[in-house]
Amino acid sequence: MANRLLRAAALLLIALAAGHMSGAHAAAASNAAAPAASVAAGAPAPVVVVAVNGAIGPASADFIVRSLARAADMHAQLAVIELDTPGGLDVSMRSIIKAILASPVPVAAFIGPSGARAASAGTYIVYASHIAAMAPGTNLGAATPIQIGTGGRNPMGAPPGGDEKRDDKPDGKRGGASAASGADAQSTESKKQVQDAAAYIRGLAQMRGRNVEWAERAVREAQSLSASEALAQKVIDLTAADVPDLLAKLDGRRVRTLTGEHVLATAHAPVTTLQPDWRSRFLASITDPSVALILVMIGMYGLFFEFANPGFMLPGVAGAICLLVGLFALQLLPVNFVGLGLILLGVAFLVAEMFLPAFGTLGIGGIVAFAIGALMLIDTDVPGFGIPVGLVVTLAILTAIFVFSVSGFALKARRRPVVSGSEAMLGSVGVMLDDADTGAGSGWATVRGERWRVRSEVPRALPPGGERVRVTARHGLTLTVEPINETSQGERR
E-strand stretches of 6-77: 47-53
Q: How does 200-223 read in b/e, with b if 16+ C-beta sit within 10 Å? A: bbbebbeeeebbbebbbbbbeebb
Q: Give Cα separations from 84 to 50, 88, 240, 278 (angstroms).
A: 11, 11, 15, 21
Amino acid at 230: A
- Which tens digit of pLDDT belongs to each residue from 101-118? 999 999 999 999 999 999
Name residues whose C-beta falls within 8 Å of residue 319's C-beta, 6 or more positions apart in sequence. 298, 299, 300, 301, 302, 303, 304, 305, 306
- Which tens digit of pLDDT belongs to each residue from 412-432? 666 665 555 666 677 788 888
What the chain holds in terms of domains, given with CATH numbers, is 47-160+191-277 (3.90.226.10), 287-415 (no CATH), 423-492 (2.40.50.140)
Output the pLDDT for position 16: 44
Output the pLDDT for position 415: 61
Which helix (H) or strand (E) is 170 found in, with range? none
User: What average pLDDT does the segment 476-481 reach?
Assistant: 84
Give 239's pLDDT tier (boundaries 50, 70, 90). very high
State the Cα–Cα distance between residues 245 and 58, nearest whole angstrom: 31
Output the pLDDT for position 399: 78
- Which tens digit of pLDDT belongs to each residue from 193-208? 889 999 999 999 999 9
Give 72's pLDDT tier (boundaries 50, 70, 90). very high
What is the 8-class DSSP label of residue 46? Answer: P
Which DSSP string do the residues of 388-404 spell out, in sequence order? -HHHHHHHHHHHHHHHH
- CB atoms near residue 164 (< 10 Å): 13
Q: If 0-12 CB within 10 Å is exposed, 13-18 middle and 19+ buried, where does residue 432 land?
A: buried
Name residues whose C-beta falls within 8 Å of residue 170's C-beta, 6 or more positions apart in sequence. none
Nearest to 204 by CA among 212, 195, 214, 192: 212
Q: If 0-12 CB within 10 Å is exposed, 13-18 middle and 19+ buried, where does residue 394 land?
A: exposed
* Under 8 Å between Cβ of 418 and 428: no
Instruction: Examine the pLDDT at 23 and tell me if it is beyond 60.
Output: no
> Bigger pLDDT: 370 or 271?
271
State the Cα–Cα distance between residues 83 and 236, nearest whole angstrom: 14
State the Cα–Cα distance between residues 171 and 430, nearest whole angstrom: 92
H-type helices in 287-360, by residue range? 289-308, 314-332, 337-355
Tell how strand 224-226 and strand 107-111 pair up. unpaired
User: Bridge partners of 145?
Assistant: 156
Give the percent of the chain with pLDDT over 90: 33
State the Cα–Cα distance between residues 372 and 392, nearest whole angstrom: 9
Cis-peptide into 334, omega within 30 deg = no
Answering whether pTM is above 0.75, one says: no
- Report helix, strand or coil for 209: coil
State the Cα–Cα distance between residues 336 and 292, nearest whole angstrom: 14
State the Cα–Cα distance between residues 328 and 23, nearest whole angstrom: 69
Q: What is the average pLDDT value for the chain, to the nearest integer?
A: 78
